[in-house]
Structure 1
Amino acid sequence: MKNWKSWCIAMAVNKRRFIKDKVSYSCSMPGVWKAVAHSEGCVVVYHAPKACAHITEEMERNQYFRMLARREFTNPPYTAPLITSNIAKKESIFGGTSLLKKCLDYVVATYSPRYIMVTDSCVAGVIGDDSAAICQEAETEHGIPVLYVDCHGFLDGEYYGGFINAAKLLIDRFMVKKEVPKVNSSANAPYKVTLIGEKDGPGSLAIQQFCTLIEDFGLEIYKSFPGYCSIEDMQKIGESDLTVILGGTQKAYAYLREIADYMTEKLGVPHFASDYPIGWEGTKRWLDDFSVFLQNFKDQSDFKGEPPHPNIDIEAVKANVWRRFEEGLAPFKKTLQEASIVLALGYINPNYDLSWVLEWLHLGQLALNRVVILDNVPEAQQAAYRTMIQRFYPETPVVLETVETVLPKEALIITTQELAEPFLRQLILPCLPPIGMAGLVQMYRKLFMLARRRGERGIVLYGW
């Protein structure tokens, strides 16, 4: 290997400013809207000042542009209009229930909704408006469901609080437990699976990969709840045989499992209690666990006649997943194997596991020339990084950033944190690991795009 200093240009590691918060705060109202954003015939009402709608707008803007960049855009992107009651100074002193009533009357007259979802802001919570009573009154008067989600912005909830409470309310109002007899005539019908969560919608690579894994077992994807369901869809979810959770973080998975548990309690629909697969090792574990779950589900089902599915050939399923991975990697493999790659690791949330990154490089048989641990990484995390690197790349040099550390201009820099030097070609790692093997192929494609970049100017690509 060439001397490290001889193949580097003289530039310091100049990082973008990095802000680290130990506690996060969020508003429950965007979670309520997100739970029904794609539900045909729904209108969401925030009993709130007009400016509160901008919280939701800002939250969705990044996802909207990300969907456009990935060509995962759905038209229309959202179907549920968002209306605010426009609480102002007067209502904050004397109460805003009459304003909410006028708002609901306006929504019915203007949009002819099939149902309305209402939630409160911090202001409504502070002044103590009885929004639930107003919603009940409006439902009786207009003859359509007016569902009140008992959250109050930043006061007593956060994003997932609103999302979960809205989902439970939808289950209570629109779903019924249905007994579908497993008779001989339907013996060949596949199990129907409802996904809990959304992962950027049905057109996203994440959802498509997840659906492909489930369909490898001969199952049928019904719907993604709660965000992408009409009233009719929700009424049929009780016919689902099982649910599968689409999480991503420990926090998201815990909240989404609360929905799945609630659906099991109310509808008797069991759920597969595992988060999405990450990398090849994680995918194999997920497939094994899902295979066992399906076998147990089949054994416990009360069929009249033969069960609809034979024993699962799990090794054939794994082989099929691996074949798709190799086919996806093939167009990028030669270019990436010839590239010089440097991994720059900065501080990340301790709950996030970056071992998938090393496995991703290793599976592609890519040469990792060096790992630079940035100076904002605590000692405990440094040790975890070294253990992770040792497992996949025991011969790769690992250095701590110092004032003399330089990065090679010609290398592909894979980093957790954007570096300010304009001549570097950087791939910023995603905050959440990509789903399964298709997610790894997508990351190879991004790295390939980075490798094809020519000229003196650098570039920054984002892995999400």
Structure 2
Amino acid sequence: MEIMQANNHTVKHNNKLATKWLFTKNRSCSCTMPGVWRAVSFCDGCAVIFHSPLGCAHVATLMDLGAQYRIIGDHQNENLDAVPLISSNLQEKDTIFGGSEKLRGCIAHVMKTWQPKCLIIATSCVAGVIGDDVEQEAEDAEAEYHIPVLCVPYGGFLGGEYSDGYFQTVRLIMERFIQPQPKIPGHVLLFGDQMGPCGQYAREVKRLLACFDLEVKWQFPGYVPFGEWNELSTASLLIPLNYAGQTQGGLEKTATAWTERFDTPSIRDVYPVGWQNTCTWLRKIAEFVKDKAKGEAVIRQEEERLKEYVKSILPVTQNKIAVLGIGRGPRWYNPAETLNTIQRMNMTLSAVILYDKLMADEKDAVISAVEDWKKVSQFPDIPIISNGDYKDCLEQADVLLTTDELPGNPVKQFFIPMVPLAGTDGELIVMRTIYRLLCLYGNKGGIAYA
């Protein structure tokens, strides 16, 4: 848990408390090249060339910095080495005379220095504007060095965004290196990234699958050695690491393509994010192994873990006044899981407040989701405040569970993770963080992140 003291002043606009804004778009504006890099970044035996200026490779190598800090904070040991990432070092003069010669020299340097077994080339905006025939250069390099050379000639920002580069690289690997073959019972292939094998999602999925004697053999695409790519279709089950309702359509489509191409069963309609979804997901796993009784036993075992932990923290959490603040639309956030956590911890929910940043349609959808939860949970009297006048309820609250930081507000704040945590451990992490926040000395102030 990380705790940061809130500012000592309150920001007000027309007597309404301000939130830190998060701008979202239906489509991100990002570069395809980091996506290519990420798809093979820990695949031993590969090397990646950016046909680009030096700065592009520098930016891509910094992508994992936040994830590495998070893994260290979780007391995990990330022991994977990234594959070489090299820039062809395009410069201003190359925009006039072309950069093909630079690329050929870069390929020769990579082959001499690292001797990769597979080479992947991604093209930058500069290369796209120049018009270098990078695909032909890739073919020539393959003929000269007798190794597979993949090319993703999307031209940086010109040909798409991050996920386009990522999933195109995955498709090229699937088409070229993987063939249908007999399955090995009990072997599971995780599909997606989510901070890699050391990330909370992958760790929790592995733990839960082990309850059914299922072994995670690989995490594809970014964490499988090149020499094992041709074995991936032997997995008897494909598990996408995804979130229902979020913008990972590329992962869904590629997982579907994998299932159809290699005849691998997969579980794609529910994901172990939030306790209710985790229970549904566990029942799906039980159906796959044809042991429904085992599934129910695992659910009871996991539920007992939650109950035992709640019992240990009730002296602190019981009857504490909580407020839920929502500034993310339904595309990014499902309030039911947070509401269930508040209820599980025996806290008193005094209000649900909707921040001004929500668009009208988002606000309507969030209100509908909260009202549906109130009916199921039999809490009809909880007010939903959407007019911005929520200062009084915050002053009376012990803790605010919020999707957005409130700068300068004296209430203790728990920042609801942007990326939901998976499984039982995810629920325990959230409850533990809220509990520790409530244990902080003093009645007010501070913000905690799960």
With over 3 angstroms needed to count, the CA separation of the structure-2 counterparts of 1:289 and 1:129, relative to structure 1, is same
Deviates more, 1:337-346 or 1:43-52: 337-346
What is the CA-CA distance between 1:340 and the residue it aligns to? 2.8
What is the CA-CA distance between 1:173 and the residue it aligns to? 3.3
With over 3 angstroms needed to count, the CA separation of the structure-2 counterparts of 1:11 and 1:339, relative to structure 1, is farther
**Structure 2 Cα separation of the partners of residues 375 and 268 of structure 1:** 48
Q: Which residue of 2 aligns with 1:395?
A: 381
Deviations 1:10-40 (A, max 9, x none): 9966424414344421111111111111111
Q: Is the 8 A contact 1:42 1:114 kept in 2?
A: yes
SS at match of 1:271: coil
**Structure 1 Cα separation of the partners of residues 263 and 153 of structure 2:** 25
With over 3 angstroms needed to count, the CA separation of the structure-2 counterparts of 1:408 and 1:462, relative to structure 1, is same
Q: Which residue of 2 aligns with 1:306?
A: none
Q: Which residue of 1 aligns with 2:126?
A: 123
Q: Which residue of 2 aligns with 1:300?
A: none
**Structure 1 Cα separation of the partners of residues 359 and 138 of structure 2:** 51
Deviates more, 1:382-391 or 1:107-116: 382-391
SS at match of 2:153: strand
Amino acid at match of 2:45: G
The reply on whether 1:221 has 2:216 as its aligned counterpart is yes
Q: Which residue of 1 aligns with 2:229?
A: 234
Which of 422, 432, 446 does residue 433 from structure 2 map onto? 446
What is the CA-CA distance between 1:437 and the residue it aligns to? 2.4
The reply on whether 1:428 has 2:415 as its aligned counterpart is yes
Amino acid at match of 1:248: Y
Q: Which residue of 2 aligns with 1:321?
A: 302
The reply on whether 1:148 has 2:148 as its aligned counterpart is no
Q: Which residue of 2 aligns with 1:176?
A: 179
Structural RMSD (CA):
2.8
What is the CA-CA distance between 1:287 and the residue it aligns to? 2.6
The reply on whether 1:107 has 2:91 as its aligned counterpart is no
SS at match of 1:99: helix
What is the CA-CA distance between 1:349 and the residue it aligns to? 5.4
With over 3 angstroms needed to count, the CA separation of the structure-2 counterparts of 1:402 and 1:270, relative to structure 1, is closer
Which of 188, 193, 197 does residue 202 from structure 1 map onto? 197
Q: Which residue of 2 aligns with 1:158?
A: 161
Q: Is the 8 A contact 1:14 1:421 kept in 2?
A: no
**Structure 1 Cα separation of the partners of residues 143 and 114 of structure 2:** 18
With over 3 angstroms needed to count, the CA separation of the structure-2 counterparts of 1:257 and 1:404, relative to structure 1, is closer
Q: Which residue of 2 aligns with 1:371?
A: 352
The reply on whether 1:264 has 2:262 as its aligned counterpart is no
Q: Which residue of 2 aligns with 1:305?
A: none
Q: Is the 8 A contact 1:427 1:450 kept in 2?
A: yes
TM-score (norm 2): 0.86
With over 3 angstroms needed to count, the CA separation of the structure-2 counterparts of 1:122 and 1:330, relative to structure 1, is farther
Q: Which residue of 1 aligns with 2:6?
A: none
With over 3 angstroms needed to count, the CA separation of the structure-2 counterparts of 1:275 and 1:167, relative to structure 1, is farther
Q: Is the 8 A contact 1:409 1:423 kept in 2?
A: no
Q: Is the 8 A contact 1:48 1:120 kept in 2?
A: yes
Q: Is the 8 A contact 2:20 2:406 kept in 1?
A: no
Unaligned runs of 5+ in 1: 1-8, 181-188, 296-309
**Structure 1 Cα separation of the partners of residues 275 and 174 of structure 2:** 35
Q: Is the 8 A contact 1:358 1:388 kept in 2?
A: no
The number of residues matched between the two structures is 432
Q: Is the 8 A contact 1:246 1:253 kept in 2?
A: no
Deviates more, 1:286-295 or 1:269-278: 286-295
Q: Which residue of 1 aligns with 2:44?
A: 40
The reply on whether 1:289 has 2:284 as its aligned counterpart is yes
Which of 11, 18, 29 does residue 21 from structure 2 map onto? 18
TM-score (norm 1): 0.84
Which of 49, 52, 58 does residue 53 from structure 2 map onto? 49
The reply on whether 1:28 has 2:32 as its aligned counterpart is yes
With over 3 angstroms needed to count, the CA separation of the structure-2 counterparts of 1:202 and 1:151, relative to structure 1, is same
SS at match of 1:191: strand
**Structure 2 Cα separation of the partners of residues 410 and 264 of structure 1:** 49
Q: Which residue of 1 aligns with 2:93?
A: 90
Which of 184, 193, 199 does residue 188 from structure 2 map onto? 193
With over 3 angstroms needed to count, the CA separation of the structure-2 counterparts of 1:333 and 1:27, relative to structure 1, is farther
Unaligned runs of 5+ in 2: 1-8
SS at match of 1:151: coil
With over 3 angstroms needed to count, the CA separation of the structure-2 counterparts of 1:159 and 1:251, relative to structure 1, is farther
- Taking every aligned residue pair, what percent have the same amino acid on both sides? 29
